[in-house]
Structure 1
Amino acid sequence: MAISAAELQNLAELGSTACAAGEDVLAVLRPRFPALTITRCPSSDVTESPFQQGDYFDLHLVDTSEHCWRLTNNMAATTAVLLAMHRRRS
């Protein structure tokens, strides 16, 4: 599934709103983007530059078409997104 720039923007905005409200970001995003695999990890687990940075998480695009997942910047190859979560800001 290719993802559009508008869909990525919508995902990032909905995710940020969920985080700001203290909601479980995956519980909010997964039902709204059912064809897209969405996962998260601590930002300290990812050394690659993100596709997009945010206040609550960095957004990484993932290509899962091969046996091993790999990060990509190619929206046409994106089949999943990884939310690299920041520590909660006070």
Structure 2
Amino acid sequence: MISPEQLQTIAGKIDGQVLNETVVSGLRGEYPGVHFTYCMDDDLPNNVPLFEGAGFNLYLVDGREHCLRITDNYENASGIVIAEVIGE
């Protein structure tokens, strides 16, 4: 489970940073029970982020079944996708 407060805290840690694997690796170390994935936001078409930040969006991942899927259910979430948004 990932709480809304935890997602907000993580968003605060990301805000203002240049997104890269170092940032994601730091979050993995700080939150060992949460699976983090980093990608570009346009890799997630037809999905609605639960948090929209400056230059990034956050999505929750449900890993309870065989395949991972994006979810809006905090109770079923086991991971977070950090999706970088590139301005046009």
Q: TM-score, normalised by structure 1?
A: 0.84
1:84 aligns with 2:61: no
C-alpha distance 7-45 of structure 1, shift in aligned 2 (>3 A):
same
Per the alignment, residue 60 of structure 1 pairs with 59
CA distance in 2, matches of 1:26, 1:13: 13
| Two-structure CA RMSD over aligned residues (Å) | 2.0
Q: Aligned to 1:24, what secondary structure does the other structure show?
A: helix
Number of positions where the alignment pairs a residue of Structure 1 with one of Structure 2: 86
1:69 aligns with 2:88: no
CA distance in 1, matches of 2:19, 2:7: 20
C-alpha distance 22-64 of structure 1, shift in aligned 2 (>3 A):
closer
Per the alignment, residue 25 of structure 1 pairs with 23
Gaps (5+ residues) in structure 1?
A: none
Deviation digits for residues 28-79 of structure 1 (CA, Å, limit 9, x no counterpart): 2111111000011111111111111111210000001111111110000000
Q: TM-score, normalised by structure 2?
A: 0.86
Q: Identity percentage over the alignment?
A: 31
1:44 aligns with 2:24: no
Gaps (5+ residues) in structure 2?
A: none
Q: Does the 8 Å contact 1:15/1:29 carry over to 2?
A: no
Deviation digits for residues 3-36 of structure 1 (CA, Å, limit 9, x no counterpart): 112111111111224x259883202211111100
Bigger proportion of residues as strand: 2
The runs of at least 4 consecutive aligned structure 1 residues that moved more than 2 Å come to: 20-24
